[in-house]
Chains A and B, each alone.
Chain A
Amino acid sequence: MRRRRTSFPLVAGAVLTGALVLVALLSLAWTPYAPEAVRVVARLRPPGPDHWLGTDHFGRDVLSMLMVGARLSLGIGAASVALGLLGGVPLGLLGAARPGWWDEAAGRMADLLFAFPAVLVAILLTALNGPGAGNAVAAIALFNVAVLARVTQGAAKGVMRRDFVRASQALGRGPWGVAWVHVLPAIAGVLAVQATVLFAAAILSEAGLSYLGLGVQPPVPSWGRMLEDAQTFLTRAPLLAVFPGAAIALSVLGLSLLGDGLRDRFDPRHESEPIL
């Protein structure tokens, strides 16, 4: 087999995403300052040798908050994608294995879920339970279930028509056995691509939700919340609004590049959906 050329999106995406993961891991062991340490005497400092990215209106160190925020973004992204896979993949497989009314019902359900963007679901949940990170995860996960169910169903249908699956069925393997042994490995690449793209979208959604105060609550630092705080001081300390936004954009860019790179390699027929 010809050796495939390493693509630019794959490398750039892997580097950016790797850096994000490293920063999040590092924040577990070390941050320049404690991220919630309030020092009013040092409030709204510009970037300098003491505070590389400056301090916010409470005198908290921006770099430390960004580092801990990376952990939160990755955590909420990972949780919502994992829940999406757990819910969406079985639904999609069921839809592919049982054509007919279930197929139709699953399609309709996915359409319905698409009509409720994560913000709307999070607002509904917050109106009920009060704000919290759980609402954000649940709201984004619901959208991910819809996307992954649809993509799984589409990709699995193609595999189930193939001869080796027919042969296995003829030899007496049940529907779940076929799904587990033959279908899932065959569509794993497409699912990996979709999961990566959804991860990127989840980071964007989470940022929007915590900007609105619908995500994780203070004092836990989150990038969206930092932007919300920064807006009040746009005149005096505009850089406060620059760093968290850049962190979000670089993270999403890294994951979406990684998704593109993986798509070229594992999803040649473009069965995954371009959410971003």
Chain B
Amino acid sequence: MIHYLGRRLLGFAVSAWVAALAVFVVLDVVPGDPALLILGTEAQPDTLAALRAQMGLDRPAAERFVRWSGGLLRGDFGTSHTYNRPVASLVAERLAVTLPLALLALALAVAVGVPLGVWAAARRGGIADGMVRGFGRLGVAVPNFWIAMLLIWVFSVALGWLPAGGFPGWQAGTGPALAALILPAVALAVPEAAILVRLTRAAVLDTLREDYVRTATAKGVGRRVVLRRHVLPNALIPITTLVGLQFGFLVAGVVVVENVCTLPGLGRLLTQAIGQRDVTVVQGVVLLLAVLVMAVSALVDALHAVLDPRPRRAA
């Protein structure tokens, strides 16, 4: 067990390092000059040279990568030239919006998707099952940022119940802060819940066919208890895998939906940084989000090893 987890952790570290290398190569080695991007094409040659020296761009690429990745390990993401602040502190500030938003969306999706999937599977072929399956099909097809717009239209513009966008900050109190997060979280949760419903239903139906379920039913265990004690724990294995796999899509959704709802999170920081040609911010935030996705996938694998002994033995 420890051996398996150790191997997985090492794999994660290697992947994270390769991700850093990939981001570095794309932004630093591929033609294009960050200093030129910052100053614009009409910049004076000597100003350009000075900025290049200040940014360390006159050094060889390998040296720059070692310096940059060494800084990352110490939590130093460089300094943003538009905000004139360390990227790390910008990120920390924005995470206070992005992280609660993502977690809220994930919690909503799991809280709706999993029970609905189990419920539909237990009533296979009925009207309820049909409706839940319809939601599963339609929910994945609807773009989350469109849902966000429609929710703003209904709940902010027409009804005036919730703010149309922006974020008051946590210092304004939990209530107003959550009120600003709830519409985007619901918009992000709908497609996630739809995927979860489909997978949960399929996983439960698969598990219902297992011999141990038939045995439990044959010895007189009630249907509810069979579902709760025998079916759900086993169906949870593919469900956790899916939540891990889908995390990348959730991150992608957060980037877009934060822009719809003008939430000052990492996604908005990132898209604004493009307009401001702030390569340091783009580099740092993209890498951070990618590593976050990889960390979640490693975490899900580890959780798997705890829940299910089989992959441990295979490894």
Contact (A200, B141) CB under 8 Å given A128-B27, A208-B256: yes
Check if B305 is an interface residue, CB within 8 A of chain A.
Answer: no
Interface window among B105-113, B220-228, B269-277: B269-277
Chain B residues whose CB sits within 8 angstroms of the CB of A274 once the complex forms: 195, 198-199
Check if A118 is an interface residue, CB within 8 A of chain B.
Answer: yes
Contact (A253, B141) CB under 8 Å given A115-B19, A123-B274: yes
Chain A residues whose CB sits within 8 angstroms of the CB of B52 once the complex forms: none
Check if B180 is an interface residue, CB within 8 A of chain A.
Answer: no
Check if A227 is an interface residue, CB within 8 A of chain B.
Answer: yes
Check if A248 is an interface residue, CB within 8 A of chain B.
Answer: yes
Check if B291 is an interface residue, CB within 8 A of chain A.
Answer: yes
Chain B residues whose CB sits within 8 angstroms of the CB of A117 once the complex forms: 248-249, 251-252, 293
Contact (A115, B291) CB under 8 Å given A212-B259, A257-B137: yes
Contact (A248, B274) CB under 8 Å given A124-B23, A212-B256: no
Chain B residues whose CB sits within 8 angstroms of the CB of A123 once the complex forms: 255, 270-271, 274, 282, 286
Check if A25 is an interface residue, CB within 8 A of chain B.
Answer: no
Check if A29 is an interface residue, CB within 8 A of chain B.
Answer: no
**Chain B interface residue count: which class?**
35 or more
Q: Is the CB of A241 within 8 A of B252?
A: no
CB distance from A124 to the nearest CB of B (A): 5
Interface window among B69-77, B95-103, B143-151, B169-177: B143-151
The 8 Å CB contact of A241, one of B141, B149, B279, is B149
Contact (A111, B157) CB under 8 Å given A127-B27, A241-B149: no
CB distance from B91 to the nearest CB of A (A): 15
Bound together, the chains give a CA A274 to CA B191 distance in angstroms of 13
Check if B82 is an interface residue, CB within 8 A of chain A.
Answer: no
Bound together, the chains give a CA A116 to CA B290 distance in angstroms of 6
Chain A residues whose CB sits within 8 angstroms of the CB of B22 once the complex forms: 112, 116
Chain B residues whose CB sits within 8 angstroms of the CB of A235 once the complex forms: 157
Check if B260 is an interface residue, CB within 8 A of chain A.
Answer: yes
Bound together, the chains give a CA A204 to CA B139 distance in angstroms of 12
Bound together, the chains give a CA A30 to CA B159 distance in angstroms of 40
Q: Is the CB of B149 within 8 A of A115?
A: no
**CB neighbors of A among B138-172 (8 A):** 138, 140-143, 145-146, 149-150, 152-153, 157
The 8 Å CB contact of A245, one of B149, B199, B273, is B149
Check if B18 is an interface residue, CB within 8 A of chain A.
Answer: yes
Check if A86 is an interface residue, CB within 8 A of chain B.
Answer: no
Check if A108 is an interface residue, CB within 8 A of chain B.
Answer: yes
Q: Is the CB of B293 within 8 A of A114?
A: yes
Bound together, the chains give a CA A125 to CA B260 distance in angstroms of 22
CB distance from B150 to the nearest CB of A (A): 7
Mask for B1-40, Cβ within 8 A of A = 1, else 0? Answer: 0000000000100110011001100110010100001000
Q: Is the CB of A227 within 8 A of B149?
A: yes
Chain A residues whose CB sits within 8 angstroms of the CB of B32 once the complex forms: 128-129
| Residues in A lying within 8 Å of B, measured CB to CB | 108, 111-112, 114-120, 123-129, 200, 204-205, 207-208, 211-214, 227, 230-231, 234-235, 238, 241-242, 244-245, 248-250, 252-253, 256-257, 260, 274, 276
Which 5 pairs across A and B sit closest by C-beta, in order of nearness? Answer: A245-B146, A117-B252, A253-B141, A252-B141, A119-B252
List 12 A-B residue pairs with CB atoms under 8 Å apart, sorted by A's residue number: A108-B15, A108-B18, A111-B15, A111-B294, A115-B248, A115-B294, A120-B289, A234-B152, A238-B157, A245-B143, A245-B150, A249-B146
Since A124-B23, A249-B143 are in contact, a sample of 13 more A-B pairs with Cβ atoms closer than 8 Å, ordered by chain A residue number, is A108-B11, A111-B15, A116-B286, A117-B251, A119-B256, A123-B271, A125-B26, A204-B143, A211-B145, A234-B152, A242-B150, A245-B146, A250-B141
| Residues in B lying within 8 Å of A, measured CB to CB | 11, 14-15, 18-19, 22-23, 26-27, 30, 32, 37, 137-138, 140-143, 145-146, 149-150, 152-153, 157, 195, 198-199, 245, 248-249, 251-253, 255-256, 259-260, 270-271, 273-274, 277, 279, 282, 286, 289-291, 293-294, 297
